[in-house]
Structure 1
Amino acid sequence: MAAVDPSVADVQAQSRIEAADLIVAYLEQLGVEYVFGVPGGAIEPLYNALARSARRGGPRPIVARHETGAAFMADGYTRITGRLGVCCSTTGPGATNLITGVSSAYDNNIPMLVITAQTALNTFGKGAIQESSCTGVNTVGMFQYCTRYNTLVSHPEQLERKLASAVLSAFQSPAGPAHLSIPLDILRGPAPVSSPSFDLAALLRRPSLMDEDAVERLCQALTEARRPVIVIGDGCSEAIGTLLEVALLLEAQVLTTPHGKGLVSPYHPLFRGVIGFAGHRSAERVLEDPGVDLVVAVGTGLGEFESNAWDERGLLNRRLVHVESTEGHLTRSPMARLHVRGRILSIFERVKDHLLERGYATREDLLEGARRSVWGAPASGEAPRRHFELDDEDKCRDEGAPIKPQRLMTELTRLFPPSTRYFADTGSSLAWTIHYLHPYDRRVAGRRDAHGGLYRTCVNFASMGWAIGASVGAAVGARGTPVVCIVGDGAMLMSGQEITVALQERVPVVFVVLNDGALGMVKHGQRLGGAERIGTELPETDFAAMARAMGVPGHVIRSPQDLEALDVAAICARPGPTLLDVRIDPEEIPPMGKRVRVLQGKA
């Protein structure tokens, strides 16, 4: 048998496209830069394809320390870029480890492509190591309940169409994760085509669809309302500039949900605070005002944390108009006087035009006054003023040690640059940040896609450790932008190893650990609710030392003076993460009374 010329063999090898290479080609078409995951034997062909891609500047892998962290990273990447987040794992325990992060994305409508491996098809039913087919630990069955699309690719000819279906399903309403489970032999086998057959990027362009009749009724309701209120949820990201212009034209008071908080400047003259979990009394009073005759809730699922624990007196009543692009959210507001379906930006562009045509004050007339309110008076150096109330505001100025959480939140937004993105984890971190952390956003109107704004949290599925991974995913998605992750000591002990990913990727994530030696929200919840005090104590932990052991600079913060001593400019400029071990006053109770009453059935 004649020998094969080595140069010919090289050409043949280079021209051979494996199924995994086709997957990567589609990711590149969609502008995806990274695949977050943990490698393993069954998923190896995908990593081989990513290695080939990385050498030519295409999508590359980022290795998480745990698969749940990989899913959280993909979540954070999507939130800050608007692009598809992608995570992957090997078969068996790799796939099951992904489930918590994928479930979180599902409950928060985050588009995500989830790729898990299977052992080779011919091993199904034979007890192969880590087998997770229908005859083993059935991972496809597990993902059924936390994905928008979920399938096993059982033949090479299925791959391209199922991949296309998964990507399109991830962005459809309701958005969420789509899961492909692919056996090892299919991943490493020849692709059914030599290059992508479909232009998925073009198919994902958002249509400007809306319910025309309902929009006309919304316009009529707004022009007839004497004292309208607009409630902004996280679904308003694309439309926030236009929404704020409409609010200025109507002089409508503006509230946000916890999810939507980062979209509105806390110094906007019409902003009255956050409703729902850890919200502001000034916001509740707006909804309780009998003079308010119209409440327009936009881009919010109206779950427990977003609806002030299903508040029927102030929100969920006949004053409500619910505007949504995700139709499933409308099932939670059957008491509303009107449902308006469609792309939120298109709806409020139409509303704005309607108001201007009917002689409402011009945008320029109102913007100047709004800018003065938000920016302060330049000549006098007057600081901007909030138009909502904080609980225990005097503690925001407390000089003592241990530092009050209220003071910490106030200082963070003063010390860090205005462009900083804040990610708050589940637990006391969530309550403290919703109520007291107010990034200095000078924008009052103008069309923009804010991708969630300056503050992000995850209040629906509420996974501990979410912010740790999400902040890393956000930081690699928006390199050069400082990211602050606010997390409790319990979550840090659970998932803190992911900070080494930020180190490896050289991104400036600042991990602010609220160190009070306890599962704080549970501890204070037990006390407020009169429950047994059990299971909340954590060992005294030096997180700054832990960080230094992993190669990350760590600082212990005991007082406001310790914060002042930090060189924040240098921290934000350094190519890598920093950890602040903040020894907060453990006796300060987070603003969580409403949540306790819900748990007791008294809300």
Structure 2
Amino acid sequence: MHVRKPSLSGGVDEEQAEVEVSDLIVSMLERIGVEYVFGIPGGAVEPMYNAMARSERRGGLRHVLARHEAGAAFMADGYARETGKLGVCIATSGPGATNLITGIACSFDNGVPVLAITGQPPLPSFGKRAFQESACTGINTLGMFRHCTRYNSLVSHPDQVEHKLVSAMAKALRAPNGPTHLTFPVDVMRAMVMPQVSSYELTTLFRRRSLIDDGAIRHLCEEIVEARNIVFLIGGGCHEAVGPLMTLVNRLGAVFVATPDGKGLINPRHSAYRGVFGFAGHKTAEATLRIDTDLVIALGTNLGEWTSGGWSETVLNTRLIHVDASEDNLMRSPMARLHVRGRIVSVCERLLELLAFVQRPQRVDPLPSIEATLNDPDKYVSNEGLVKPQRLMQELSNKFPPTTRFVADTGNSTAWAVHYLHAQDRRLLSQDRRSVSRHHVRDERGVERRSSNSSWLRVTMDFAPMGWAIGAAIGIARANPSCPVVCITGDGSYLMNGQEITAATEEGLTVIYVVLNDESLGMVKHGQRMTGAEQTACALPPVDYRKLAEALNVPGYRIETPADFDQIDYAAILARKGPTMIDVRIDGEEPPPMGVRVKTLTGGQDE
């Protein structure tokens, strides 16, 4: 059957035939700007791979082959964080689908828009012990995904495809962001269907709305005008709002601190910055929130364990005003003086309009240096003995360009990076518009805003699977290959997911894997020590990760003392279209700044 109607690509009227369901799925992903799908093939998703191959030949969407389905989900997560677009991952039925779940759960807990597509055996075979059956009559993966997705459905008929796919994409991309899941029987993927919604303007449908509570914002203005000393707490949800938010900080003469996942959104060398509050945070941030402060405005933070300092009264008190787009996040601060729900960038822009008459000087003298915020500033610059993790963070801070994306893996890697990594922020670059154009977008009114790819440091909060950064780094680099990506990971995490480095090789991506090699599960080891637990099950075998990388055709370096840093050819690393391994033998006796975690594990007692 042929009809005259708008094309799948959004063009003018043309004769259009029925299409295979898999081609329809791919074309709709292309229409919303998805460039890459990360996954591993299998019989139950073969039609999707056929469709992606046809798309790639015409210059459309392209598949990136992961080494494990969890790695594919981590890559999709990194791609989404870098671009603000939908990250897409795909796996076959059965174990392919269950392998995705850890990565999807991570995206769910961190509010990252990811679409997971999985396959099923043909519908008529349901309940007959088909190979890798994972519908309700087998190992029910649909039921498993229900607990870690914002939309989750089995597509049992070709006529459901467009409605359910649009619903899944919308649920992922509209606030609150998060992953969604669709599972397709292979015969449904192969079926022919007449597209019904190809005339929809999907980008308009998925656009984030700038809804705000103007009454609450006016109340907030009154609080701001009456306050003497204001501290802003900037969370990871402030991506697009950083520009107007920092203008607001400067206009009000305020100072600011960041949550661990918000640190990458700000310039750590700003004169009003007072450090990180929460996990691996700084004493300066704690003191700023406690001393001579009568209003704390927290924006874009869920105030969970790591972002609230273990639910500390330092921030959870009646001085708090909580601003967030998520009602769930706002419910975690019932003691707050005021709750303001709305899109954070819109709230900040409205505040700037209402406070146009206010201009205050900065309230206190700026900190003299980055080192003044650190727990052990002498170790940050140490050139003696084994490599201190603190010293490694200084090396990474100083030797990579401001466009670098740093990704810190779960465990000690996150702790060291959050506390000691102070890279030059890209906003310190020249104002050459060509150098920053990739980091800005225009909203529906044509106003230029920083996009969600503005973070120079990415960490994963709450669910926090080991090895996440190894895959996420590839997704980030694939999304934006013009910027180097440094993955800071531990030897334990690398032994879990390190095989994904070969995907970076195949894609020709400049990803630098820095392995903190202390022959142990470092956070477990130090956590046991700090809590008085048995010292057990944390030792790892000695491994030369440089040689391991070289066996995979990846060049590398082995660093045993600070003097060995001089052997690293950073220019060559940055020029290479492929990954590099840096195996750093760190001093494993250095305890990481993980007091917040220890306090929680010990029932609120300080370490």
TM interval, short-chain normalised:
over 0.9
TM (norm. structure 1) is 0.92
Q: Secondary structure of the equivalent of 1:588?
A: coil
1:551 alignment counterpart = 553
Whether the 8 Å contact between 2:266 and 2:425 is mirrored in structure 1 is: yes
**Residues 359 and 95 of structure 1: CA distance in aligned 2, closer, same or farther (over 3 Å):** closer
Q: Secondary structure at the match of 1:131?
A: coil
| Contact 1:482–1:572 under 8 Å retained in 2 | yes
For residues 558 and 480 of structure 1, what CA distance do their matches in structure 2 show?
A: 30
Deviations 1:426-483 (A, max 9, x none): 0110110010001111638995235251000002111100000000000000011000
Asked whether 1:309 is paired with 2:310, we answer yes
Q: CA deviation at 1:195?
A: 7.4
Match of 1:512 in 2: 514
1:180-218 Cα deviation digits (max 9, x unpaired): 010000001113328724322111122221001001011
Alignment match, 1:292? 293
1:305 partner amino acid: W
* 2-structure distance, mates of 1:322, 1:42: 46
Q: CA separation of 1:479/1:195 partners in 2, compared to 1, >3 Å: closer, same or farther? A: farther
Residue 441 of structure 1 corresponds to 425
User: What is the letter of the counterpart of residue 115 of structure 1?
Assistant: I
Alignment of 1:479-498 (within 5 A): 479-498=481-500
- Judge conservation of contact 2:83–2:452 (CA < 8 Å) in 1: no
**Alignment equivalent of 1:239, drawn from 238, 241, 257:** 241
Q: How far apart in 2 are the matches of 1:466 and 1:389?
A: 28
The 2-side partners of 1:103 and 1:195 are apart by 30
Aligned amino acid, residue 308 of structure 1? G
Of residues 28-37 and 195-204 in structure 1, the stretch that sits farther from structure 2 once superposed is 195-204
TM-score (normalised: structure 2): 0.91
Which residue is 1:323 aligned to?
323
- The alpha carbon displacement at 1:400 in A equals 2.1
Give the conservation status (yes or no) of the 8 Å contact 1:17–1:194.
no
CA distance in 2, matches of 1:196, 1:523: 55
User: Aligned to 2:389, which of 388, 405, 413?
Assistant: 405
Q: Deviations over 1:1-33 (max 9, x none)?
A: xxxxxxxxxxxxx96621010011111111100
Instruction: Tell me, yes or no, if structure 1 residue 426 matches structure 2 residue 410.
Output: yes
Identity of aligned residues (%): 54
Query: Measured at CA, do residues 16 and 450 of structure 1 come closer, stay the same or move farther in structure 2, by a change above 3 Å?
Result: closer
Q: Aligned partners of 1:30, 1:448: CA distance in 2, in Å?
A: 19
Find the partner of 1:253 among 252, 255, 278: 255
From 126, 133, 145, the counterpart of 2:128: 126
Q: 1:287 deviation in Å?
A: 1.4
User: 1:50-104 deviations in whole A, cap 9, x for unaligned?
Assistant: 0000001101110100000000000000001111000010000000000000000
Code of the residue aligned with 2:528 in structure 1: it is: Q
Which amino acid in structure 1 is aligned with residue 342 of structure 2? Answer: G
Take 2:63 and 2:558, find their aligned partners in 1: how far apart are those partners?
A: 33
Residue 35 of structure 1 and its aligned partner are, at CA, apart by 0.5
Whole-Å Cα distance in 2 between the matches of residues 584 and 99 of structure 1?
A: 33
1:272–1:387 CA contact under 8 A, matched in 2:
no
Is 2:359 the partner of 1:360? yes
Distance 2:571 2:602 in 1: 46
Question: Which residue matches 1:212?
Answer: 214
For residue 533 of structure 1, the aligned residue among 535, 539, 542 is 535
Question: Partner of 1:226: helix, strand, or coil?
Answer: coil
Contact 1:277 1:594 survives alignment (8 Å): yes
Aligned partner (choices 51, 60, 63) of residue 62 of structure 2 = 60
Does the C-alpha gap of structure 1 residues 442 and 132 become closer, same or farther in structure 2, counting only changes over 3 Å? closer
How far apart are the structure 2 equivalents of 1:359 and 1:539? 60
- Alignment match, 2:96: 94
The yes-or-no answer on 1:416 pairing with 2:400 is yes
Between 436-445 and 235-244, the greater mean CA deviation after superposition: 436-445
- On the 8 A contact 1:36/1:64 being kept in 2, the answer is yes
Q: Say if 2:98 is the partner of 1:111.
A: no
Q: Which region of structure 1 is more displaced relative to structure 2, 190-199 or 291-300?
A: 190-199
Q: Give the 5 Å matches for 1:452-601.
A: 452-601=454-603
CA contact (8 A) 1:64 1:501 kept: yes
Query: Secondary structure of the equivalent of 1:95?
Result: helix
CA RMSD of aligned residues (A): 1.9
How many Å apart are 1:564 and its aligned residue?
2.3
Match of 2:343 in 1: 343
Mapped partners of 2:137, 2:372: distance in 1: 58
Give yes or no for contact 1:166–1:179 (8 Å, CA) kept in 2: yes
8 Å CA contact 1:119–1:131 kept in 2: the answer is yes
**Equivalent AA in structure 2 for residue 532 of structure 1:** E
The alignment partner of 1:496 has SS state of helix
Q: Is the 8 A contact 1:230 1:255 kept in 2?
A: yes
Gap change, CA 1:141 and 1:442, over 3 Å in 2: closer
Shift, 1:292, TM fit: 0.6
Instruction: Judge conservation of contact 1:268–1:386 (CA < 8 Å) in 2.
Output: no
Moved more, 446-455 or 435-444: 446-455
Q: Is the 8 A contact 1:429 1:486 kept in 2?
A: yes
Rate the CA distance shift 1:170–1:258 in 2: closer, same or farther, 3 A. same
Superposed, 1:91-240 pairs within 5 Å as 91-193=93-195, 196-240=198-242
Q: Which residue of 2 aligns with 1:36?
A: 38
Give the counterpart letter for 1:217 in structure 2: H
Equivalence for 2:24: 22
Contact 2:235 2:299 in 1 (8 A): yes
Are the aligned partners of 1:25 and 1:195 in contact in 2 as well (CA < 8 Å)?
no
Q: Distance in 1 between matches of 2:196 and 2:57?
A: 19
Kept after mapping to 1: 8 A contact 2:415/2:592: yes
- 2:382 & 2:583 partners in 1: Cα distance? 19
Measured after TM superposition, the shift of residue 566 of structure 1 is 1.0
